Structure 1
Amino acid sequence: MSEAILDIKDKPKAGQWISLSLQHMFAMFGATILVPQLVGLSPAIALLTSGMATIIFIIITQFKVPAYLGSSFAFIVPITIATETGGIGSAMIGAMFVSLVYAIVALIIWKTGYRWLMKLLPPIVVGPVIIVIGLALSGTAVDMAMNITVNEVSQYSFKHFSAALVTLITAIICNIYFKNIISLMPILIGIIIGYLYSAMIGIIDYTAITEANWFAVPDFLIPGADYSFTVTPTLLFVMVPIAIVTISEHIGHQLVLGKIVKRNYIKDPGLHRSILGDGIGTFISSLVGGPPKTTYGENIGVLAITRVYSVYVILGAAVFAIIFSFLGKVMAVIDTIPTAVLGGISILLFGIIASSGLRMLVDNGIDFGDKRNLVISSVILVIGIGGAKIEFSEAFSVEGMALAAIIGVLLNLILPGRNKEELDDGTE
């Protein structure tokens, strides 16, 4: 592998610093603003909290890990369910409890090591759950792409579907036919081209842009001030089990990032520090109304292409994200993005999420000739995608991907013939 142009602690020159940091911000921009658009949160607060969470993460990891934290797609369905049952405040409180799980896991790793976590979350459990996350959202993506609501009735619209297709095709072209930085920003470029096409066919309402101020404070959601909440068992079982997936995703990102920058992040600064940083970032985000956070593969890709590993460049991207969140006109433009455009990009994005679960199974050589593996994956997929539910009372139920994740872990622990497959930590 080629040597780094800027290593972890190197500071770039001012002009170079700005351009490199903006590059990272735009790499994560499309995905980070898409999540709040899908769950009814403020894109501005999502941008603000992504910057805040990234700064917190870098501090906690002792300025050793150049990772950017953006909105997590794993929580789209849980946030939607929590919001439907108890309001958006319930989703935010649920995210806080997820961050508590991160803290507990980090503490246990600090005291006992990380091997137990690798054994608890093997690829045969995590892979199918990731597939569930992607496919469970497929219906939402297609509905957004094809249909519009007229007088509270959903109707098919070819005009809107054409905007979705233009968006989707643009993202595919960027991803497949470009090998430079453009290939790492298919979401953002797809949205931009889809937006321009939507303007050409006249399906954009510009009212929000004309009415917006150039400077605007993001819409904060503070517990006790902007919403009341009740913590219920159902809320916890909707949100908390998704940590099974996001922690696994976190470990995977740390391993990949470590290989790129030639460090072992599992050992130094330690998995406990990076998980804690992710958890505290999620806690701060949910405390002010932002979605849960996760490290972003897009930014890891930027690091690999540019060979600029400086944490100061990542910090610069975080600062730019915070600044952008206060630009009212920019946020208003985001609010005018047609649902069809978001649906078009979601078709690709949710499919990629599902495919990444398949890739985890393939990369780890999971043998589906083994009945044990076949049973575990089959049960996870059908329960998760089918939306199975265990209802203990009117106020307490466990359903969907949360139930699938829990059952997957239990089956892996209980069924005989448990092998030694686990996520490869890259160490001897």
Structure 2
Amino acid sequence: MIVRRFLLWARTAPAEARASGAAALASAYLRSGMSDEDRREAETALIALIDDPSPLVRRAIAEEMAASPRTPRNLALGLIAEQGDVAALVLAHSPVLSEADLVDAAAVGDVLAQRAIAMRRCLPASVAAALAEVGCEEALVTLASNRTADIPEFSLERMMERCGDDGALREALLERADLPAGLRQAIAARVSDALAQFVSGCGWLTPERSARLARESTERVAVALAAGGQATDAPAIVEVLRETGRLTPGLMLRSLLSGEPALAEAAFVSLSALPRGRVAALLRDRRGAGLRALCRKAGLSQALEPAFVAAILALNTRGFDAGARRPGLDRGLLADVMLACEAMHGPEADALMALLRRMDSEAAREEARHMANSLADDAALALLVEADPAFLLELASGDLRAAA
């Protein structure tokens, strides 16, 4: 009876009063001890109020009922059929919506609706996949930023295929801990290309110079990702590099000369089609037996064989799997390779030596930068001790306490 009186009153009441009344009715439905008959009438009344001409009424109902598991499903479906913030509020929070409901809403919803779905906690893989296929750029950025969303690997790749030129999406994807190494490499390559185009477009560098810088930047990222990831990361990165035409002998040589041969090893496996165990044995043979045959099997030019053989033998001298002494190219390894190649002649040999000299210059700059930072740190510490001699005693006593 009370609900019927409410509906009669709602026919002539002002919009703001109807909104307040609708919120009160929704709250009573969720929290008060209504009889079964009153609850059925209240549910019918709330569903009827979805057709109220004022959006204030629908907004009031959504605010009260969006997050409740006791919300009637038909009411929730009626609210998400709306556009704008009312539907978004329910789509973002309602626990009564099924995966199928959310997939359908993603397909027909506006930007607000898609973003609301993308920000749901523990978003299921099926809904994430649907958004990856049909979502707008804003929704994809929101989805990528949702750390609780279960996004399949193929959906992450699809997001990059559709909107990979969007910087916000690339940044959000790179911050995900579950991003596959191959896709991380693809994003890094796209970022490098975008920067190169921007720099050359501004006239700051020639297109050739900016392209080289982008390529070298992509190579450094690839080597670091392959070295710091899991065992399956390097092969995945190599496949991405092959598909995009970026798997070059220069990149393989950089991997070896950085003291991080994981990428080069995966590349030899991929290019030679030899079993992984066989390639691993050849690369770790200190005598170097079979290295030239491995290079030829991988399709490397004969002019490059001395460089690769020298790099691999030098790595084995210190321990092939010992890891890099510090990030970046190793000047000691570079010196061994340049010595092995300096007597070579011909256009390919000249190009190889030019590449090695550029790498040596890069390594020298990095070494100088590291030394300058170290000297600056020492100078800053000396000034601090000079200003406060007690600091040194305090530091020493702290070290002694830590040792104890």
Q: TM-score, normalised by structure 2?
A: 0.20
- Structure with the bigger percentage of helix: 2
Give TM-score, length-normalised by structure 1. 0.19
Higher strand share: 1
Computing the radius of gyration over CA atoms, which structure comes out larger, 1 or 2? Answer: 2
User: Which of 1 and 2 has higher RCO (CA within 8 Å, sep 6+)?
Assistant: 1
